[in-house]
Structure 1
């Protein structure tokens, strides 16, 4: 029988157990890899130190970046500096000021224990050097610290096999943590009934700056640190690459391979639409390494009870937002047609709450959409040059449906991105059935946002006269926006995503684009059992 291969844990990750076990779980088990400015600064300083492999300092030889490991403990790591003297002394560099946290001492002690196993001699102490205060602190490797270090190794092994994340600490350690936007400790505890409402929104990890290009025949290339949009030898636009979080290309628009490689390297996805706004595909950066979350998602997608619970929240949110949208529009109209639609939607709410299977929910959602779009026509101004009878697609049979179809396409691509940012598989849903090529989870997520994001944009463009009949063309049995019309819609859609709104659960203000990401993260936490139930985004 072959001996079982030792699985080595990074020493820096084991030390995280002493600081925050949940942080360790995210990094070691779910493979979340995020850095903040402080960590980036530390990496830069480390690279500078590594330019000199050895150096004499105060009469002692210092060797940089020494790899050490322990087969007994199953750990491996890199000592920043190994200082020769009476005994080899490990030195760990830190960017901040001296705080002598336990996790830093555990990291240093574990490095020393690896050295001891390799050299067969005792390492009594080491040093922590804090660049912020230029202070060097001696750390004694006494029996108390050694016992604590071994406890951290043991706990790290236990967490590797645990199916659940540790509870969030939700204290002074959280504000400076690079994983704060993913961990969401305050939101977790509030939704679990164990803490107050969070006071401010989390930093975003999603898409903030989207570049839409639909100039037919345009060519995009990398020009140094800028993205150049050219056509027929003329430069149409030049934009800093650092200012592009997502690129959307519609129709016959080409880009160079160096530009595509750069965008993917820096996690900028490229979305492809045809000239009429239909989604064709996307170039996506590397898939999230969080296989633990995706495996749980796949398991939950086969759990009928779980699917119904999540779907009920999504459908209830959609019906609520439909009803609120019509009620808001009817305040100044007093339309009997709108009132009828509102009453029908109101009557459906208890049925959604009582639904026990997906088939029932699909039927109720269909009835709600029918009632909603019957009233939607009454929201169009009396003097507008457009008519709307019912929702049609593939192809849209009138200009209003053309606007709705393009809007839902853009919203779907944004929900695909939100799901991927949250570590989820956008093609495996809970409400919508996974069908080859259909982003089922993105369709799930977008249900509660159709009205508040897309329909509101369509209504505003029409009623304000921003979109005119000559912004459309009829061909192939349907209606489509012209290039000028698409330009107007992209601008209005982007503006809507940047509109700030108060989140109904947490009461803090953030733009719709951030709400999409937040809801995807909340769904991922439901999947992982961090919070009990999915609550849809609803307007007041």
Structure 2
């Protein structure tokens, strides 16, 4: 299936979706948002990655900052923090450039490496977009973490690509139905900038009928 541009979802939304499907729906379907210290710091950190010229050359390395990417197959668009084009005769030709180059996206994260694969999935989505756009094969990307000031090499395999494809299919399905799911409260809820909008405690109610009956009972007891 090939998606039309008006049906594209945000590439970076895969992080929200994997963190909490309700959070993703509140942001991307209901268009609700609230900042906290973490989100503000994250935006500032990413803006620094995009500082400077759109592209710069250092010897056999070309660095592109804030590069817009998309995939009609996945139905997404977004921005890569940095894409590095390293001169390599096994790579691809670039318009207006001599020689051949290998392509390596670098995603910047403010914190430190996570124990889950949320950051990796976002990077893989960027890789799949780049492959579709410039007709190449990319098997490696990097995650740079501000806390450790170190980049981690990520080798992409078929399983990662399939997982990303399946996640975006689920996101498109939920978006087309304008479906905002309930959520089970976890410790992560306290760190979420949307907790006052989401009000996860209300999701514990089994039904609207039960919630109304509880309110009526409270009034009768007064």
Q: TM-score band (shorter)?
A: 0.7 to 0.9
Aligned to 1:192: 206
Which structure has the larger Rg over C-alpha atoms? 1
Aligned to 1:77: 78
1:48-68 Cα shifts (integer Å, max 9, x gaps): 332312456796332110000
State whether structure 2 residue 18 is matched by structure 1 residue 14. no
Relative contact order (alpha carbons < 8 A, sep ≥ 6): 1 or 2 greater? 2
Of the three residues 169, 175, 183, the one matched with 1:160 is 175
Aligned to 2:33: 33
State whether structure 2 residue 184 is matched by structure 1 residue 535. no
Separation in structure 1 between the aligned mates of residue 66 and residue 162 of structure 2, nearest angstrom: 26
How far the C-alpha of 1:165 sits from its partner, in A, is 2.0
How does 1:45-124 map onto structure 2 within 5 Å?
45-53=45-53, 54-55=55-56, 60-85=61-86, 86=88, 87-99=102-114, 101-124=116-139
Taking a change above 3 Å as real, the CA distance of residues 73 and 168 of structure 1, as seen in their structure-2 partners, is same
What SS does the corresponding residue of 1:84 show, helix, strand or coil? Answer: strand
Question: Any unmatched runs of 5+ in structure 1?
Answer: 194-525
For the aligned residue pairs, the C-alpha RMSD in angstroms reads 2.8
Separation in structure 1 between the aligned mates of residue 69 and residue 20 of structure 2, nearest angstrom: 24
How far the C-alpha of 1:19 sits from its partner, in A, is 2.0
Would you say the 8 A contact 1:68–1:115 is kept in 2?
yes
Separation in structure 1 between the aligned mates of residue 173 and residue 128 of structure 2, nearest angstrom: 21
Taking a change above 3 Å as real, the CA distance of residues 135 and 100 of structure 1, as seen in their structure-2 partners, is farther
How far the C-alpha of 1:150 sits from its partner, in A, is 0.5
How far the C-alpha of 1:172 sits from its partner, in A, is 3.3
1:189-221 Cα shifts (integer Å, max 9, x gaps): 2x339xxxxxxxxxxxxxxxxxxxxxxxxxxxx
Would you say the 8 A contact 1:68–1:111 is kept in 2?
yes
Would you say the 8 A contact 1:92–1:128 is kept in 2?
yes
Taking a change above 3 Å as real, the CA distance of residues 61 and 21 of structure 1, as seen in their structure-2 partners, is same
Question: Any unmatched runs of 5+ in structure 2?
Answer: 89-101
Of the three residues 192, 196, 210, the one matched with 1:177 is 192
Taking a change above 3 Å as real, the CA distance of residues 163 and 118 of structure 1, as seen in their structure-2 partners, is closer
What SS does the corresponding residue of 1:149 show, helix, strand or coil? Answer: helix
State whether structure 2 residue 161 is matched by structure 1 residue 146. yes
1:269-321 Cα shifts (integer Å, max 9, x gaps): xxxxxxxxxxxxxxxxxxxxxxxxxxxxxxxxxxxxxxxxxxxxxxxxxxxxx
Equivalent residues, number: 202
Separation in structure 2 between the aligned mates of residue 57 and residue 144 of structure 1, nearest angstrom: 34
Would you say the 8 A contact 1:98–1:135 is kept in 2?
no
How far the C-alpha of 1:93 sits from its partner, in A, is 0.6
Taking a change above 3 Å as real, the CA distance of residues 59 and 4 of structure 1, as seen in their structure-2 partners, is closer
Aligned to 2:92: none
Aligned to 1:136: 151
Q: TM-score, normalised by structure 2?
A: 0.80
1:236-280 Cα shifts (integer Å, max 9, x gaps): xxxxxxxxxxxxxxxxxxxxxxxxxxxxxxxxxxxxxxxxxxxxx
Would you say the 8 A contact 2:120–2:154 is kept in 1?
yes
State whether structure 2 residue 57 is matched by structure 1 residue 42. no
What SS does the corresponding residue of 1:154 show, helix, strand or coil? Answer: helix
Separation in structure 1 between the aligned mates of residue 110 and residue 182 of structure 2, nearest angstrom: 28
